[in-house]
Amino acid sequence: MKRNLIKPVYFTLVACIFSFVICEAQNSKAELYLNNGAILKGYATIEVESNSSGGKISSVGAIKFRKSKKARPTFYRLEKLKKLRIIEKHRVATYEFFKVIGEGEIKVLKLLEKGNMSLYEYETKGISGPRPFVSDPSRRMDPAAPENLPLGRSKSKYLCVKRENEEMATLLSKNPTFSNSFKEAAIYYFRDCPELVEKFKKHKYKKANIKEAVMYYNDTCTKS
């Protein structure tokens, strides 16, 4: 009797995990631009390897590319790539791959605005905190006990900018040089355009409309 009860539960669990993996593994139509000038057309997935350290997960990985949906995939490391154009939610999204000052490994940066100065964002995943040790044996199997609840996960997005003649991008948020102040970082980075700096000082441009500030810089400041 016990064996008959266990089997359906096991089968259901395996089925749920399998369907999740298939959903995550779906490829999207894409164009992959390599540093050697080659352009590949087919289907791609951004494969991110998560490394946990100090409560944070750093993202490093590769692009999994197929010439057709049934073809064997080839994995391209980020340092070999220039950019990726991929269909996301019925729109074309562009990703570029380079380092961000003070952030270590190459990032997968989503392009938000292209110009003499470009605006990007990248995402990191964090863990809410370490799970405490359950010292009371009677509580270790209690799913309602706070120490047995699943760890919380969160996603954070960070904005950065890069001029065409720069090799690495600069953070406008989470920048320790400016005590994580978006305003201070923006004023320093846009210091070659005094009129734009004044707009930041007077709060005409803030983090919420940074794309407009970058467009202003490209349309006005680079031509003056």
Domain extents in the chain: 27-159, 172-224
Confidence tier at 9 by pLDDT (50, 70, 90)? very low
Residue 139 in this model has a pLDDT that exceeds 80: no
Sign of CA dihedral 38, 108, 99, 53: negative
Q: Which of 7-16, 28-37, 146-155, 166-175 has the lowest mean pLDDT?
A: 7-16
Answer yes or no: are the C-beta atoms of 192 and 221 closer than 8 Å.
yes
- Residues in a beta bridge with 110: 95, 121
* pTM for the full predicted model: 0.71
Give the CA distances from residue 99 to residues 3, 155, 159, 224, in Å, rounded to whole numbers and listed in that order: 54, 20, 13, 29
When pLDDT is cut at 50, 70 and 90, the band that residue 59 belongs to is low
Q: Which of 127, 137, 116 is nearest to 214 (CA)?
A: 116
- Average pLDDT for residues 30-38, to the nearest whole number? 97
Cα→Cα distances 34→9, 17, 65, 85, 197, Å: 47, 34, 12, 12, 37
- Per-residue model confidence (pLDDT) at position 105: 86
Over residues 187-197, mean pLDDT: 94
Q: What is the pLDDT of residue 183?
A: 87
89: left (phi over 0), alpha (psi -120 to 50) or beta: left
